[in-house]
Amino acid sequence: MIPEIGLAALWLAAALALLQLFAGLVGSRTETAEIAALARPAAALQAFLCTVAFGALLYAFAVTDLSVKLVATNSHSMKPMIFKLSGAWGNHEGSMLLWITVMALAGGAIALIERRLPEKTMMATLAAQAFVGLGFYAFLLLSSNPFERLVEIPPEGNGLNPLLQDVGLAFHPPTLYIGYVGLSIAFSFALAALLTRNVTPDFARVMRPWVLAAWIFLTVGITAGSYWAYYELGWGGWWFWDPVENASLMPWLAATALLHSASVLAARDALRTWTIMLGVIAFSMSMVGTFLVRSGILTSVHAFAVDPQRGSFILALLVLYIGGALVLFALRANTIAEGERFSALSREGALVVNNIGLTAILGVVLIGTLYPLFTEAFDVRVSVGPPYFNPVSAIFFLPMMLVLMVGPLLRWRNDRAGRLTKPLAIVGVVMVAVLACSLFFDNIGLLPFLGLVLAAGLAVASFAPLFGRALGRTPLTIWGMCIAHFGIAVAIFGMSADTAFQEERLVAANIGDVIEVGPWTGQLQTVNAVAGPNWTAMQANLLMSYEGGAAQEARPQSRNFWTPTMQTSEVALLTRWNGQLYVAVGNQGDDGRWQLRLWWKPFVTFIWYGGLLIALGGTLSLVGRVVGDVRRRRQQASGEKVDEELPEGALA
Amino acid sequence: MSADGARGGLKPKHQRLVLIVLAVAALIGATLLAMVALRDQANYFYMPADIAANPPEPGQAIRLGGMVEQGSMQMQEDGVTVEFVVAGDGERVQAVYTGIKPDLFVEGSGVVADGRLNTDGVFVADTLLAKHDENYMPRELEGMSSEEMRAELQDSVAGTGQ
């Protein structure tokens, strides 16, 4: 019964989306039309119904209702509860239901909260949101019904891919999806702005917090995904330039560019057309990413729930939405008036460099990700990996980082270079000092070397905008900007330090053998069998000590799951402030020795701390913006003089 | 539109043009750069027969796919280096891998490996893209029908006289 309720709720929600599309379209033309009043309630009710449907699916997984096909193929009654629940979105149908639920929630949220824009533009936004939603409802209901029943109920389920039975998985996809789908709001705002020819600073101010919120989730999602791949795959890497990773990186790059251009539009009424374009691109990249991941047309270490047949459906949606949006853009872009001017040496100028750099990297990643598809059409099989992505994206990334050190110090519209001599001299000295120190180490690759120097410069420069300010009275948005930029420096430092200084040791060890890697020494104590709820494992017990200090236990496992049958490596991590010891155990050789692989990874954790700092910076900015908006609205309501947005206000 | 404008006296329309030209130039630059890099650095997929017909330069990153020949797998003294032969279409490539051997990397199974040829013509694998479970087929081997695979498997068995 419960699954049928879920399915019914989904159909109802789809019908409401149709109503919302119609009401919104009418309302965007004539504000007074009575039907327009239905658009907002339709969006809100849709959010509720989708939540009901998703709840029904969660319930089916929680009680392991094997009459539901999706549960039977992806779950197992022996699984721990958390993995039963996370199994609900660890498969194609469930993840698409999650997608549509997040999208409905986002649509409901703007319908209920957002009242700052002209009503016509809001109606067009809701219509666009419903239009995008309808395609995904159709996809879900016609080709991937998550509530499909089985005629013959199997005695037991198939289980979930063991690699996915991890706490990281429970939270990673939902986080990423909120980010992906949250960008649909920017897409809808952009379409509405084109439809109603209303591109103003107000438009950017309204769109900005939504983009910022989606961007925060994307940032956290990518950071968590990277850490998950790092400890779950057992290869010691944290970024593989894998299609699925690229699929999450591309919307992030576009959203980052969008955030920055939106703040130019909000503060200075420039870059209008460009901001609209980025709004379209950002969500388009989310859809391209979903297509790549869901269709299974590219090989990936992360792609588990793939189905080629469905690829064509998503491809059709992709062509419809992206193509449609671009056509609308082409038709309407020239009707958007030119914005304000600025000189090359100004905040706007620096942000243009940021935008062009991010877009170029986006292009580089997109081309590299799709290239195997193109060549496959000519029957040439290639794979594109780090030898391509690292240097080519660095060509754009490194100059961008140099501009990032200067940009936040510049004034809007026009500035004098002389004003910046002092802060830039300090940054320069720091960079030269790090450069000199790095020269003492041999064998540092060019990229990690440049990364270390830039990270040091950026770490100092990112707080330069705070110099000379009364810290207590500095707006949260400025703090947010400084912390986010500092997070980039921290992450670059982590990546460079790990690449430059990591040490690896691969041994076949007998019990009692002494093992050394970097500053760590230790001993393989025992290897014993252990069992979990749905796996058995060989566990190696090592005692490792850092520079002769107290011994710490490391217990890597080589696990064998039986539902379905699969071997995974469960690594042991010993974390210190200055890095991580990473231990993986392999198989026993014929001679009785155990294969062990150990890495000392200096400062590797800074990569993810950096990612979290970036997200924290975004959160501070978001809080600052929302608080500012509420205050402004209250002042407006009480008839006081309204504070204008400060032109030197920070980003986002 | 502010009358005082920015220094330099560009009209807004011209500024927009400059920005468009900049953006287009950067994107075209990125595309060209990507294309050149892809031509040089994409990991081309080789089968043993491709290597025999048209051997890549030593040191060039390639991806090799084929079947692990029966009876060819040999663990070295150090316990972490394994030598094996990748066979396909009657051709054989000597290969070596140092690392933790995936469980499902066994003789007679399909394998796809990233690495490079050394000057002796031995393929040094950095990564074995072994299957995670028994249903997984490396995408690059998908084109081979099961008959071809079986034929190759039998060839390789016959080749080692087993």
The two tokens of residue A425 are 């001299």
What pLDDT does residue B151 have?
45
| Chain B residue with Cα closest to A365 | B34
CB spacing of B103 vs A593 below 8 angstroms: no
Partner-chain residue, chosen from A360, A384, A595, that has the shortest CB–CB distance to B100: A595
The two tokens of residue A457 are 């410069």
What pLDDT does residue B6 have?
43
Mutation site, B4, B11, B14, B15, interface A, largest A CB count within 10 A: B15
Instruction: Please tell me the distance from the alpha carbon of residue A464 to that of residue A482, in angstroms, as a whole number.
Output: 8
- Taking each helix axis from N to C end, the angle separating A386-406 and B12-41, rounded to the nearest 10 degrees, works out to 150
Whether B153 has a pLDDT exceeding 70, the answer reads: no
Q: How far is CA A443 from CA A238, A438, A439, A449, A500, in A?
A: 21, 10, 10, 10, 8
Are A36 and A26 in contact, with CB atoms under 8 Å apart? yes
Mutation site, A376, A383, A392, A591, interface B, largest B CB count within 10 A: A383
Read off the pLDDT of each residue in A546-569 and give the average, rounded to a whole number: 84
Collapsing DSSP to helix, strand or coil, A226 comes out as helix
Partner-chain residue, chosen from A274, A383, A396, that has the shortest CB–CB distance to B30: A396
pLDDT digits over A96-127, tens only? 899 999 999 999 999 998 888 888 889 999 99
Whether A642 has a pLDDT exceeding 70, the answer reads: no
Instruction: Please tell me the distance from the alpha carbon of residue A327 to that of residue A320, in angstroms, as a whole number.
Output: 10
Report whether B136 belongs to an annotated binding site.
Answer: yes
What HEC string does A165-183 produce? Answer: CCHHHHHHHHHHHHHHHHH
CB count within 10 Å of CB A197 equals: 11
In 3D, which of B159, B145, B58 has the Cα closest to residue B110? B145
How far from chain centre, in Å, is Cα A162? 23
A566 — phi, psi (to 5°)? -170, 145
What pLDDT does residue B156 have?
36
- E strand or H helix at A598: strand A594-602
The two tokens of residue A505 are 């040791």
Partner-chain residue, chosen from A356, A384, A597, that has the shortest CB–CB distance to B100: A597
Mean pLDDT of chain A, nearest integer:
86
**Chain B residues with CB inside 8 Å of A590's CB?**
75
What pLDDT does residue A14 have?
95
β-strand B123-128 against B91-98: which pairing, if any? parallel
pLDDT digits over A273-292, tens only? 889 999 999 999 998 888 77
- E strand or H helix at A51: helix A39-62
Instruction: Please tell me the distance from the alpha carbon of residue A597 to that of residue B5, in angstroms, as a whole number.
Output: 63
ipTM above 0.95, yes or no: no
Report whether B14 belongs to an annotated binding site.
Answer: no
Instruction: Please tell me the distance from the alpha carbon of residue A363 to that of residue A284, in angstroms, as a whole number.
Output: 13
Among A263-267, B53-57, B139-143, whose mean pLDDT is lowest? Answer: B139-143
The pTM (predicted TM-score) of the whole model is 0.88
In 3D, which of A313, A321, A303 has the Cα closest to residue A369? A303
pLDDT digits over A389-405, tens only? 998 999 999 999 999 99
Partner-chain residue, chosen from A356, A361, A587, that has the shortest CB–CB distance to B23: A356
A154 touches chain B (CB under 8 A): no
CB spacing of B79 vs A339 below 8 angstroms: no
CA atoms within 13 A on the CB side of A195: 24
Q: Name every residue whose Cβ is closer than 8 Å to that of residue A105 and which is 6 or more positions away in sequence.
A: A47, A50, A51
In eight-state DSSP terms, residue A66 is T
Q: How far apart are the first and last CA of chain A?
A: 47
What pLDDT does residue A299 have?
52
pLDDT digits over A289-312, tens only? 887 777 666 654 444 444 556 777
CB spacing of A339 vs B61 below 8 angstroms: no
Q: Calculate what percentage of chain B has a pLDDT beyond 90.
A: 7
In 3D, which of A32, A9, A14, A210 has the Cα closest to residue A111? A210
Which residue type, as a one-letter code, is found at position A158? N
| Chain B residue with Cα closest to A379 | B143
